[in-house]
Amino acid sequence: MKISISNLISALTIICFGMFSCDSPEDTVNSKIYPERPNIVWIVNEDMSPEHLGAYGGTGGDTPVLDQFAKESLRYTNAFSTAGVCAPSRAAIITGAYQTSIGAMHMRTTGMSASALEYYPPGFKAYSTVLPDGMRGFPEYLRMIGYYTTNNSKEDYQFEAPKTMWDESSKNAHWKNRPDPEQPFFSIFNLTISHESQVWAREDEPLLVDPDSVVVPPVYPDDSISRRTLARFITNVMRMDTQVGELLQELKDAGLYENTIIFYYSDHGDGMPYYKRELYDRGLKIPLMIKAPFLEAGSVTNELVSFVDFGPTVLSLAGIKIPPTMQGQAFLGDQKSAERDYVYAARDRMDSEYDRVRAVSDGRYKYIRNYMINKPNYQNIQYRLNNPLMVHLLELHEEGKLTPDQERWFDETKPKEELYDTQTDPWEFNNLADNPEYQAKLEEMREAHLKWVNYYGDLGSKNEVAMVREWWGGQATPPVTEPAIILYEDGLVALRSPTPSASIGYRKSSSDVWSVYTKPFEINKGDSLYVLAHRIGFEPSIEAVIVE
């Protein structure tokens, strides 16, 4: 929408008390000036439990890069995702809030193909989660104070990210692209080679590990198909390790390695059957290693850490006041909190298949609450049937050849409550919920679960289609963010959005990058200004243009 200056000034309704007195998102940022802000890099691989790395025990493959990185880092032994799949967990990471509290718990809500939607309930439509008032992705706060933020390249946050979240989000996004070599950066690199899909996509590629040498977990039969599939997965992990080395080398070559804060982690547990999507530790526990100048190299901590803590921790490290919309807590930096007592996780719709399961862990004991007890743990998810091991397990199930511990996945129903001692029973086979000796622990964990639900809320109890319609005001399509109000005078521009909680982005004709609006700025004569407002979950506004 093109607006002339003369029409703009005469037509604008001034809704602030003064020309430039409107509140801006900058008001949430700590006003303290930090002369040096740390560079922060996240290296994230997909679908991998910790034990595949030598630093966490190893399952048959060699991971020399990450094993060496562990010697230079603080290694966490009790770090957990908030779901056994990526999109709900990524929603929790980017917002610092539990996906169940903001309606982002179903896997997934965006990017489904028309053929996939045929399996979904009548009336279902893909949607972006409408975030609660005032909530935004944490990288936007970094941009507000001058960070160059990049994401390479997977988002999958359960919503369309506004243009204000990243300087770059693409396969070519990189901290090297920042215009000023002194500008601090926050960069994410997502490595997809360990994703479950690569087990079948790379099935014909050479293996780097002998199938006879891999460790077969007790959830699978020890036979040639299991070993071959596991060797394929472990090979992918080994190739991922090499990719991590390439990213670390780039920092070293630039002279940035020693002073950059580097997180390495996986986006949830293994992508293999009876791991991924489950709320057992094998689906939730992740490797997490952090290298920083202020951390003791080669140290280990048992501190409980959840994905909802990652965003607050980055803000704490960057010197930004953690906003009240975040439910997680910082585990590093000036705003570090006391250690957690519990971490929480959830399972809801997986593709077209509904379930509702919640979990609490204190690091040793795991409590699971099944809200749909008439459903088995196993769900007939079409995507997973591409994995040859999944097909093999189903065949053995039909033939009655699985062990009792392997067969329990296919039980027609499940108990209301489960309790496991993951120290003595790491595969969570022995349910202690009915054991009289563990009733006190059961009651403690049950109470922790209920307090979590009551405090943060749980939108998993709502019908999904009805929840989305409520967000959309009863309409069949999402609301549209109203265009930003542009206040212009003597070469100075102020912006405000009539839509609550919308982020405002702007760019000048001299730039392709959308900046986050925080305060009035100057526009030069002859420059065009483009303005866009976007509340997450709504459609973005139309683009406004003014020409000076």
Statement: residue 17 has pLDDT above 50: no
Structural contact between residues 460 and 105, judged by C-beta atoms closer than 8 angstroms: yes
- % of the chain exceeding 90 in pLDDT: 87
- Which region among 165-179, 354-368, 449-463, 506-520 has the lowest average model confidence (pLDDT)? 506-520
Tell me: pLDDT of 13 over 90: no
Mapping DSSP to helix (H, G, I), strand (E, B) and coil, where does residue 245 land? helix
Binning pLDDT at 50, 70 and 90, where does residue 31 land? Answer: very low
C-alpha span between 463 and 83 (Å, rounded): 19
Contact 397, 378 (CB under 8 A): no
What end-to-end distance do the CA atoms of the chain give, in Å?
15
Task: Please say if the pLDDT value at position 22 is more than 60.
Answer: no
* pLDDT mean across residues, the chain: 93
Q: What pTM value is reported for the model?
A: 0.94
The pLDDT tens digits for 470-512 are 999 999 999 999 999 999 898 899 999 999 999 999 999 888 8
User: Which class in CATH covers the domain with range 38-102+133-340?
Assistant: alpha beta
Alpha-carbon span 319 to 146, nearest angstrom: 12
Domain with CATH 2.60.40 in the chain: 5-24+479-547
In tens, the pLDDT along 64-73 reads 999 999 999 9
What is the predicted pLDDT for the residue at 16? Answer: 36
- Annotation says 86 is catalytic: yes
Nearest to 349 by CA among 475, 460, 229, 195: 460
Alpha carbon distance 87, 277 (integer Å): 11
- Name the token pair of 479: 């609301």
Q: Amino acid identity of 20?
A: F
79 touches 286 (CB < 8 A): yes
Question: What phi, psi does 514 have (nearest 5°)?
Answer: -85, 120
The CATH T-level fold of domain 5-24+479-547 is Immunoglobulin-like (2.60.40)
Tens digits of per-residue pLDDT, 358-410? 999 999 999 999 999 999 999 999 999 999 999 999 999 999 999 999 999 99
For residue 78, give the nearest of 426, 419, 362, 310 by alpha carbon.
Answer: 362
pLDDT digits (tens, 9 = 90+) for 347-359: 999 999 999 999 9
Residue at token pair 């000023």: 180
- For the cut 80, the answer to whether the pLDDT of residue 196 exceeds it is yes
Query: In 411-543, which ranges are E strands?
Result: 417-421, 485-489, 492-496, 503-508, 515-516, 521-522, 528-534
Coil, strand or helix: which one is 471?
Answer: helix
**Alpha-carbon dihedral 72, 77, 83, 87, rounded to 10 degrees:** 0
- Residue 469 phi/psi, 5-degree rounding, is -60, -35
Alpha-carbon distance of 356 to 350, in angstroms, equals 10
Q: What pLDDT was estimated at residue 185? A: 97
Question: Do residues 63 and 239 make contact, with C-beta atoms less than 8 angstroms apart?
Answer: no
- pLDDT given for residue 11 in this prediction: 38
What pLDDT does residue 520 have? 96
* Residue with more model confidence, 12 or 193: 193
Q: Quick one: tokens of 406?
A: 């392997």
Confidence of residue 118 (pLDDT cuts 50, 70, 90): confident
Q: Determine the pLDDT at residue 511.
A: 87
Cβ(63)–Cβ(54) below 8 Å:
yes
Which residues have a Cβ under 8 Å from the Cβ of 450 and sit 6 or more positions away?
Answer: none
Q: How many residues does the chain have?
A: 548
SS3 at position 267: coil
Q: What share of the chain is helix, strand, coil (3-state, %, to 5)?
A: 30, 20, 50
Structure confidence by residue, pLDDT tens digits, 73-103: 999 999 999 999 999 999 999 999 999 999 9
Write down the catalytic residue from 3, 22, 70, 86: 86
Residues spanned by CATH 3.40.720.10 within the chain? 38-102+133-340
User: Which of the four pLDDT bands, split at 50, 70 and 90, describes residue 423?
Assistant: very high
Handedness of CA 9, 15, 18, 23 (dihedral sign): negative
Distance (Å, rounded) from C-alpha 456 to C-alpha 97? Answer: 9
Per-residue pLDDT at 198: 98
Specify the pLDDT at position 6. 41
Q: For residue 534, what are the β-bridge partners?
A: 503
Taking 90 as the threshold, does the pLDDT of residue 235 lie above it?
A: yes
Distance from C-alpha of 352 to C-alpha of 122, rounded to nearest angstrom: 11
pLDDT of the residue at 124? 87
So what's the pLDDT on residue 548?
61
pLDDT at 215 over 70: yes
Task: Give 8's pLDDT tier (boundaries 50, 70, 90).
Answer: very low
Secondary structure of residue 357 in the 3-state scheme = strand
